[in-house]
Amino acid sequence: MNSVLFASSNRNKFEEVNSVLFSAGIFVEYHNMLILEIQSNSLKQIAEEKSKAAYSKLSRPVLVEDDGLFIDYLNGFPGQYSAYVYKTIGNSGIQKLLEGIPIRCASFISVFAFCDGKNSYSFVGKTHGRISTAIRKGGWGFDGVFIPDSCDSTFGELQQLEKKEIFSHRTKALNKFKRWYLNN
Domains of the chain: 2-183 (3.90.950.10)
Mean pLDDT of the chain: 96
Do the beta carbons of residue 121 and residue 179 sit within 8 Å? no
Alpha-carbon distance of 20 to 3, in angstroms, equals: 13
Is the pLDDT confidence value at 25 over 90? Answer: yes
Residue 2's pLDDT is what? 87
Tally the residues of the chain: 184
Is the pLDDT confidence value at 44 over 90? Answer: yes
Is the pLDDT confidence value at 45 over 80? Answer: yes
Residue 1's pLDDT is what? 65
Alpha-carbon distance of 45 to 89, in angstroms, equals: 25
Whole-Å CA distances, 116 to 30, 62, 127, 130: 17, 7, 28, 36
**% of the chain exceeding 70 in pLDDT:** 99
Is the pLDDT confidence value at 54 over 90? Answer: yes
Residue 84's pLDDT is what? 95
Do the beta carbons of residue 158 and residue 95 sit within 8 Å? no
Catalytic residue among 66, 67, 72, 149: 66
Do the beta carbons of residue 74 and residue 136 sit within 8 Å? no
The pTM of the full predicted model, rounded to 2 decimals, is 0.94
Catalytic (active site) residue 116: no
- Render pLDDT for 111-156 as a digit per residue (tens, 0 to 9): 999 999 999 999 999 999 999 999 999 999 999 999 999 999 999 9
Between 169-183 and 11-22, two packed helices, what is the crossing angle to 10 degrees?
50
Is the pLDDT confidence value at 80 over 90? Answer: yes
